[in-house]
């Protein structure tokens, strides 16, 4: 299975979306104090990075 750069970016985007969703879920359901806001903020940051990786597909 040969992986070119677009496939690598697609996998990185998928993994970052999964991690972002899990961090937002941790912030929403596990932690009720200020730490929950931090987890949610980091999860949104993972979404932003995944968006950039998705935008780079085909251009790198």
Whole-model pTM?
Answer: 0.83
Q: Domain ranges in the chain?
A: 5-56
For residue 45, CA distances in Å to 4, 5, 55 come to: 26, 23, 15
Which residues lie closer than 8 Å to 19 by C-beta, 6 or more apart? 43, 46
Q: Quick check: 53 pLDDT over 80?
A: yes
Residues 17-51: tens digit of each pLDDT: 999 999 999 999 998 889 899 999 999 999 999 99
Q: What percent of the chain has pLDDT over 70?
A: 97
Residues 4-16: tens digit of each pLDDT: 888 888 899 999 9
């Amino acid at each position: 299975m040969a992986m070119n750069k677009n496939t690598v970016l697609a996998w990185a985007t998928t993994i970052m979306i999964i991690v972002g969703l899990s961090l937002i879920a941790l912030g929403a359901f596990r932690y009720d104090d200020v730490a929950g806001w931090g987890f949610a903020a980091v999860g949104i940051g993972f979404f932003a990075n995944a968006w950039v990786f998705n935008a780079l597909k085909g251009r790198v």
